[in-house]
Amino acid sequence: MPENNAEQTKPASELRFDLVSKDWVVIATGRAKRPETFAEQKRQKEETPQGDCFFCDLKNQNPPVLEYKNKDGEREVVVIPNKYPAFKHSVNLRERAIGPYSLMDGSGFHEVVITRDHEKSLGEFSVKQIRRVIDAYHERYLELSKQKHINYVSIFHNHGREAGASVSHPHSQIIALPVIDPDLQRSLNGSKMFFENRGECVHCKMLEWDLEDKQRLIYENKEFAVLAPFASRVAFETRIYPKEHHSYFERINDQEKDLLADAFKQALGRIHKGLNDPAYNFFLHTAPSDGKDYCHYHWHFEILPKTSIWAGFELGTGIEISTVEPEKAAEYLRNLEI
Amino acid sequence: MPENNAEQTKPASELRFDLVSKDWVVIATGRAKRPETFAEQKRQKEETPQGDCFFCDLKNQNPPVLEYKNKDGEREVVVIPNKYPAFKHSVNLRERAIGPYSLMDGSGFHEVVITRDHEKSLGEFSVKQIRRVIDAYHERYLELSKQKHINYVSIFHNHGREAGASVSHPHSQIIALPVIDPDLQRSLNGSKMFFENRGECVHCKMLEWDLEDKQRLIYENKEFAVLAPFASRVAFETRIYPKEHHSYFERINDQEKDLLADAFKQALGRIHKGLNDPAYNFFLHTAPSDGKDYCHYHWHFEILPKTSIWAGFELGTGIEISTVEPEKAAEYLRNLEI
């Protein structure tokens, strides 16, 4: 009887507050789906046939801006300029006003990080292979962040057509921009405000709780925690955080890179297995390279599986509705054997 | 020769600053598509067959929270509670903390506004039919905004599966929430900051320019302007603004409702014709109903056609890339004969 009552008065959803962005997110607790049901979803895979794949032809990608070869001298990872860049670098950044408006040239860099295998997604890579991708991210980050007018380097990866990947061959993208992107700017603002009010890093505060509480923890190694954020925006949102307070991704050392690769393997491998190879996006959020002080910030990767069945509401309100509780998502991913 | 030079040095894109949200948006000028090409896109229409459509059965929607009948006594517009609500109202709003986190019950209302015709989208309605939909929005807004714990009433419409409409029969949704949604909050903050610094409404400032400049103007009547915003987030983004400074949608009068219906007909009719019945979302942004003073704000409707072929980048950066210049989009829509 009390249980029935509890069931009847259970709200349709919970509103959770994101401590960093100050956004409200909705967790549809009332009609949340069981985590297992996400594995039943089949995504529409429109693969580019291997024979037609431009990215498969690694050896003819010329000139790469970076290449890593295997012991047989074959290219394993290459970074090339995007053939259809959203941004091209110009030394003269023309800023101008039109009436009340202001604009500038979209000056910047747009590169693609390509790995060898046509079929395997990052979650199926070995830790060593993932480590090479992280090396490429890091090396290009260092190079691009030094360029004129570049204030932010965005590293992201789209897997699957639903996540915006126009080419199925696994690849990441690096965009270097003269402006700090609005999402990061909000994250920086929230983190700074918390630091000024409370004298501590908001991400460290959440990590401390989550590492102790363990309800949202998916995996941890010596340096990194993989967890489902309390205010998850989508079902199975997963983040990789350095456990210690580090603001600048580019200061990562070799040992940390090994452990980041391990954390990535655990995060993406579990998502791949548990959700039946879903489409997903992941991206890096790190302190900008504009020379200002961002020691209040805490870099991390955010992974957003495309599991959502709700849409449209988010556009009008900016409130996203997650159809599984992050605690249940974390438990499900944590208990998988990979 | 100068033209060739101009072509060669043309940047891949422009970064435009959104005066209200402080976001940067990207207009891919370098490889922008001709507006006409958007009409060639065919969207995947998975219509619910009329016989199976739950929304077609207007007369059995009981109990409606609102109904408008035609002169034959048949229901023309009904508003019903959503069968699968994201929010249910509870008198006791349980706010609580878990460690560093805070949350509350998703208490609120979730209603659906249904119109008679199964096939016709809003852009194909007569001005009179649209007026009835606006009446329903207005009447429910007034009612819901008075309820306990309701601080914001979100009105939105999803057309087409790509825009998140799970039922093809035209319908709008109304969600009443205990919190102000983050998108609106940012818009309120930006508008307030501009007002405090400059002593005027940022939207009035932009409108003044755009009504004079006419480059981004699609249509205007005595009370409303339909325009493509300077910092368009997606191709063919279209907004409907009251020309005079009005903060609160709920204060609209009868004559203004007639002219809003006319503006909607022009906006959606042109999008329907010019872009070959694309999927789209539209939503209302208006001052919250939490009793605070928002006289710096300027209510409006935003229409976002789903024309984007870029994706994924936006998620990582929050920067959206529009593939057509708003000036060209406006010119194209303005010159259509509907």
The CATH code of the domain that includes B57 is 3.30.428.10
Percent of chain B with pLDDT over 90: 56
Which residue would you say has higher pLDDT here, B151 or B119?
B151
**Residue B232 and residue B184 share a domain:** yes
Range with lowest mean pLDDT among A52-61, A250-259, B238-247: A52-61
**Residue B184 and residue B170 share a domain:** no
**Residue B76 and residue B189 share a domain:** no
Cα separation of A45 and A47, whole Å? 6
**Residue B295 and residue B186 share a domain:** yes
By DSSP bridging, strand A95-98 and strand A75-81 are: unpaired
> Which residues in chain A are closer than 8 Å to B16, comparing Cβ atoms?
101-103
b/e per residue, A221-237, with b = 16+ CB within 10 A?
eebbbbbbbbbbbbbbb
| Residue A338: closest CA among A295, A252, A291, A277 | A277
Q: How many angstroms separate the CA of residue A71 from the nearest CA in chain B?
A: 34
Range with lowest mean pLDDT among A200-214, B18-32, B244-258: B18-32
Confirm whether A127 is domain-assigned: yes
Residue A335 Cα distances to A42, A224, A332, angstroms: 22, 18, 5
> Which residues in chain B are closer than 8 Å to A31, comparing Cβ atoms?
84
Measured between CA atoms, the residue of chain B closest to residue A283 is B316
Which residue would you say has higher pLDDT here, A125 or A48?
A125
**Residue B242 and residue B121 share a domain:** no
Please tell me which of the candidates A13, A316, A321 has its beta carbon nearest to residue B154: A316
Please tell me which of the candidates B11, B22, B101 has its beta carbon nearest to residue A182: B22
Contact in structure between A118 and A169 (CB atoms under 8 Å): yes
Contact in structure between A329 and B181 (CB atoms under 8 Å): no
Measured between CA atoms, the residue of chain B closest to residue A103 is B16
Picking from B120, B144, B177, the residue at the C-terminal end of a domain is B177
Contact in structure between B245 and B201 (CB atoms under 8 Å): yes
Are the Cβ atoms of A283 and B317 closer than 8 angstroms? yes
Is the confidence at residue B153, as pLDDT, over 70?
Answer: yes
**Residue B148 and residue B273 share a domain:** no
Please tell me which of the candidates A15, A283, A316 has its beta carbon nearest to residue B316: A283
Give the residue from B21, B22, B101 with the most A CB atoms within 10 Å of its CB, the best one to mutate.
B101
Tally: H helices and E strands in chain A: 7, 15
Which residue would you say has higher pLDDT here, A177 or A286?
A286
Q: Residue A305, exposed/middle/buried by CB under 10 A (0-12, 13-18, 19+)?
A: buried
Q: How many angstroms separate the CA of residue B107 from the nearest CA in chain A?
A: 7
Q: How many angstroms separate the CA of residue A251 from the nearest CA in chain B?
A: 21
Among A22-31, A154-163, B230-239, the range of highest mean pLDDT? B230-239
Picking from B126, B158, B177, the residue at the C-terminal end of a domain is B177
Which residue would you say has higher pLDDT here, B129 or A10?
B129
Secondary element (H or E) of residue A174: strand A171-177
Q: What is the pLDDT of residues B177-227, one digit of tens each?
A: 899 888 888 899 999 999 999 999 999 999 999 999 999 999 999 999 999
Please tell me which of the candidates B13, B23, B100 has its beta carbon nearest to residue A106: B13
pLDDT number for residue B7: 39
Q: What is the DSSP string of A50-111?
A: GGG-GGG-GGG--S-SEEEE-TTS-EEEEEEE-SS-S-B--SS--EEEETTEEEEE-B-EEE
Which residues have CB under 8 Å from B204's CB, separation 6+?
A: B245, B298
**Residue B277 and residue B197 share a domain:** yes
Over range A202-229, report the average pLDDT. 97
Tell me the residue type at A336.
Answer: L
Q: How many domains does chain A have?
A: 1
Please tell me which of the candidates A110, A155, A316 has its beta carbon nearest to residue B281: A316
Are the Cβ atoms of B313 and A86 closer than 8 angstroms? yes
Picking from B157, B177, B197, the residue at the C-terminal end of a domain is B177
* Tokens coding B197: 């610094």
Measured between CA atoms, the residue of chain A closest to residue B176 is A317
Confirm whether A93 is domain-assigned: no
**Residue B57 and residue B18 share a domain:** no
- Expressed as residue numbers, the domain containing B150 is 50-177
Confirm whether A113 is domain-assigned: no
pLDDT band at A5 (very low <50, low <70, confident <90, very high): very low
Contact in structure between A280 and A304 (CB atoms under 8 Å): yes
Are the Cβ atoms of A15 and B313 closer than 8 angstroms? no
Tell me whether 0.90 is exceeded by the ipTM: no
> Which residues in chain B are closer than 8 Å to A46, comparing Cβ atoms?
none
**Number of Cα atoms under 13 Å in the Cβ half of residue A148:** 7
Are the Cβ atoms of A179 and B15 closer than 8 angstroms? yes
> Which residues in chain B are closer than 8 Å to A86, comparing Cβ atoms?
12-13, 26, 28, 310, 313, 321
Q: How many angstroms separate the CA of residue A106 from the nearest CA in chain B?
A: 4
Q: How many angstroms separate the CA of residue B163 from the nearest CA in chain A?
A: 6
Tell me the residue type at A224.
Answer: F
* Tokens coding A102: 């202001």
User: What is the phi-psi region of residue A214: left when phi exceeds 0, alpha when psi lies from -120 to 50, beta otherwise?
Assistant: left
**Residue B219 and residue B111 share a domain:** no
Over range A156-166, report the average pLDDT. 82
**Residue B188 and residue B323 share a domain:** yes
Measured between CA atoms, the residue of chain B closest to residue A179 is B24
pTM, two decimals, is 0.88
Please tell me which of the candidates B15, B183, B315 has its beta carbon nearest to residue A104: B15
Among A126-140, A274-288, B105-119, B179-193, the range of highest mean pLDDT? A126-140
**Residue B197 and residue B299 share a domain:** yes
Which residues have CB under 8 Å from B72's CB, separation 6+?
A: none
pLDDT number for residue B316: 53
Cα separation of A331 and B270, whole Å? 49
Contact in structure between B39 and B330 (CB atoms under 8 Å): no
Cα separation of B95 and B116, whole Å? 40
Give the residue from B21, B23, B24, B322 with the most A CB atoms within 10 Å of its CB, the best one to mutate.
B24
Contact in structure between B154 and B283 (CB atoms under 8 Å): yes
**Residue B161 and residue B63 share a domain:** yes
Confirm whether A174 is domain-assigned: yes
pLDDT number for residue B330: 97
Q: How many angstroms separate the CA of residue A72 from the nearest CA in chain B?
A: 35
Confirm whether A92 is domain-assigned: no
